[in-house]
A and B are shown apart, each in its own frame.
Chain A
Amino acid sequence: MTARTLAEKVWESHVVHREEGEPDLLYIDLHLVHEVTSPQAFDGLRLAGRPVRRPDLTQATEDHNIPTDLLGGLIEDPVSRIQVETLRANCSEFGVPLRSMAQDKQGVVHVIGPDLGLTQPGTTVVCGDSHTSTHGAFGALAFGIGTSEVEHVLATQTLPQRKPKTMAVTVQGALPSGVTAKDLILAVIAQIGTGGGQGHVIEYRGQAIEGLSMEGRMTVCNMSIEAGARAGLVAPDETTFEYLKGRPHAPQGAEWDRAVEAWRELRTDPDARFDREVVIDATALTPFVTWGTNPGQGAPLAAEIPDPSSFADPAERDAAERALAYMGLQGGTPLRAVAVDTVFIGSCTNGRLEDLRAAAEVLRGRHVADGVRALVVPGSMDVKAAAEAEGLDRVFTEAGAQWRNAGCSMCLGMNPDTLAPQERSASTSNRNFEGRQGRGGRTHLVSPAVAAATAVVGRLAAPADL
């Protein structure tokens, strides 16, 4: 048999129907649903009189619209409330299991899949959300879809898809101390660009990737979409199996052994060819932050904001000029001189227990700078409970940060947690687009450790600066 990449193996094992000149019809093992991209899909089912084919392979959660204050009940915005109530009604009508706000095991859709053990190696995972790529950390083929495709999966549990190209991002050497998965992926995106992965599934490999925890791998895969990739994945290994074992929906007993045996086969063959290969030197990486309005506009924290005239390509120069004007920044300013108003620690990129531990380690015994608002928002109610069991909530509140319930919060400006016009944030989320965190808000993407250090200093900073 010809040598194949991991992505090709997962793809091939899910083809239901193949026909010359047509996209492959892929079976979907797990369909995750949230309130924003599903209402019109359920409407479509009703109009056509179609049921949800496999409610038992579907999991819904409330995350984008909900408030994260600890009151945990009322959604004041009537439009948001209607959307969440619509999801509840749809799940009830169609028999889809739902995790509701502030309830046990609810959380951000890409945090609860892994939390619950639903995200497993070698599976196909889709969700009406671009950050579905997160689940690739388990060696799953996981990609975001639009609402029409959500309806298609609800109705058929399959999806016609064109086979993507494959790309290897090999991260050689070990990450230096103080450099995290977030710094790594921001540096990758800055190198290959926001369209660099377009049409490809990225497999992350190499020593630095193998050395990452599952949380770190999820951070890396999560932002594959910011490089334009269809999906990102990492071959499963002992780290993966150890993370999964004993989780609520993970296989048990003899089933577990059979599953692990199959999962061990999920590796790219030694002589398999990728359509494109990129090599990154992990040892040269340092804490990395963004200065612009797309995730590819980033630089090492130790650097200065680039002067737009330094870009040879006129389109890039124009984009940099526009970005700096929006961000209220000047080329040539050291990034460490940029003062922030708000620090947000959370999201499907960095809202897991390890992220909260990293931030708490920096904030322990320190205090958030005067005038800075700091929000710490766990990615799920399970993460929240685990953090509280370790006393992390007290570390945050004693440092002057706000401790919240689980939700998407300030990642995307759809709930009460937003930036005001011209307010500047250091955020552990994934997008620094204009207005992403609120109209006129200015976002710098950072790691949890950099976010925490920035909260203490009041300017962009790394823990080593403290």
Chain B
Amino acid sequence: MEPFTVHTGRAVPLRRSNVDTDQIIPSDYLKRVSRTGFADGLFREWRAAGDFVLDQPEYAGATVLLAGPDFGTGSSREHAVWALQDAGFRVVVSSRFADIFRNNALKGGLLPVVLGSDAVEGLMAAVETAPQTELTVDLQRCQVDCGGQNYRFELEESARQRLLQGLDDIALTLRYEEEILAFEASRPSWKPKTIPAIT
């Protein structure tokens, strides 16, 4: 995973709540077996309807998505994170994220920033007034700066360190191989097994 330390970029305001992952990337894109190439599916239906904020020229090249509450609800598809990243996004800001989306984003290096709804509103208003405004999202200081607006955000320390250093979760876990083996030795014998398959 590419480390995330500090990111500066322009932001696009998506004034919708309950943006579910079916809207972020429709299910027909999930038939693919690759991890990339999802940018053209991002918000496909809303873009097709026309006049969608992401397609307004003043927001072209934005790398920070400012969204309403309950972003990323619904399906567990990590493709939603991949689609946002493929389209150039590095950060999503919302007052509340769905748990699975948030986990997927942290695994993939897309930073989910939780701010209070007043702060999200303040940032949206700023970029609506002046779309060229740049935001700086600093994961070292856990702070978002945008003109005169400065907001602290929280992220659990373990996830923060993984992002800052771009660590591989699986390699980290495999350091505990002996503990995993010991746990496996202590599991009750009646726990379910899928093999042999029973017909």
The yes or no verdict on A and B being binding partners is yes
Seen from chain A, the residues whose Cβ lies within 8 Å of a Cβ on chain B are 16-17, 21-23, 25, 27, 29-30, 36-37, 39-40, 43, 48, 50, 55-59, 64-65, 77, 79-80, 82-83, 86, 97, 104-105, 116-120, 123, 128-130, 144-149, 151-152, 155-158, 160, 162, 164, 194-195, 198-199, 225-226, 228, 230, 248-251, 255-256, 258-259, 262, 294, 296, 315-316, 318-319, 322, 412-414, 431, 433-436, 439
* B residues 144-199 in Cβ contact with A at 8 Å: 156-158, 169-170, 172-174, 176, 179-180, 183-184, 187-195, 197-199
CB of A145 within 8 A of CB of B103, answer yes
State the Cβ distance, A445 to closest chain B Cβ, in Å.
Answer: 13
Complex A-B: 11 CB contacts under 8 Å: A25-B176, A55-B195, A79-B32, A80-B31, A97-B197, A144-B76, A146-B78, A146-B104, A156-B180, A162-B156, A256-B190
CB of B198 within 8 A of CB of A249, answer yes
State the Cβ distance, A284 to closest chain B Cβ, in Å.
Answer: 26
CB of A255 within 8 A of CB of B170, answer no
CB of B99 within 8 A of CB of A199, answer yes
The contact of A156 among B156, B170, B191, by CB within 8 Å, is B170
The contact of A149 among B75, B107, B176, by CB within 8 Å, is B107
CB of A123 within 8 A of CB of B26, answer no
Report if B8 contacts A (CB, 8 A).
no
CB of A152 within 8 A of CB of B173, answer yes
Task: Kindly state the separation between the CA atoms of A391 and B57 in the bound complex, as whole angstroms.
Answer: 60
Task: Kindly state the separation between the CA atoms of A68 and B199 in the bound complex, as whole angstroms.
Answer: 22
Instruction: Give every chain A residue within 8 A of B134 (Cβ-Cβ).
Output: none
Instruction: Give every chain B residue within 8 A of A318 (Cβ-Cβ).
Output: 15, 17
Instruction: Give every chain A residue within 8 A of B128 (Cβ-Cβ).
Output: none
CB of A255 within 8 A of CB of B190, answer yes
Of all chain A residues, which has the CB nearest B30? A36
CB of A123 within 8 A of CB of B31, answer no
Report if B138 contacts A (CB, 8 A).
no
Known: A123-B192, A414-B30. A129 touches B70 (CB 8 A): no
B124-145 to A contact mask, C-beta < 8 Å, 1/0: 0000000000000000000000
The contact of B18 among A40, A225, A319, by CB within 8 Å, is A319
State the Cβ distance, A129 to closest chain B Cβ, in Å.
Answer: 6
Known: A21-B158, A57-B194, A160-B173. A195 touches B22 (CB 8 A): no
Instruction: Give every chain A residue within 8 A of B176 (Cβ-Cβ).
Output: 16-17, 25, 158
Instruction: Give every chain B residue within 8 A of A436 (Cβ-Cβ).
Output: 22, 27
Of all chain A residues, which has the CB nearest B48? A439
CB of B194 within 8 A of CB of A97, answer yes
Task: Kindly state the separation between the CA atoms of A274 and B24 in the bound complex, as whole angstroms.
Answer: 34
B1-32 to A contact mask, C-beta < 8 Å, 1/0: 00000000000000111101011001110111
Report if B100 contacts A (CB, 8 A).
yes
Task: Kindly state the separation between the CA atoms of A119 and B194 in the bound complex, as whole angstroms.
Answer: 11
Residue of B15, B79, B104, B170 with most chain A CB atoms under a 10 A cut-off = B170
State the Cβ distance, A110 to closest chain B Cβ, in Å.
Answer: 12
CB of B192 within 8 A of CB of A120, answer yes
Instruction: Give every chain A residue within 8 A of B103 (Cβ-Cβ).
Output: 145-146, 149
B31-60 to A contact mask, C-beta < 8 Å, 1/0: 111110000000001000000000000000
Task: Kindly state the separation between the CA atoms of A21 and B155 in the bound complex, as whole angstroms.
Answer: 12
The contact of B22 among A144, A155, A198, A434, by CB within 8 Å, is A434
CB of A157 within 8 A of CB of B32, answer no
Known: A79-B32, A146-B100, A294-B18. A413 touches B199 (CB 8 A): no
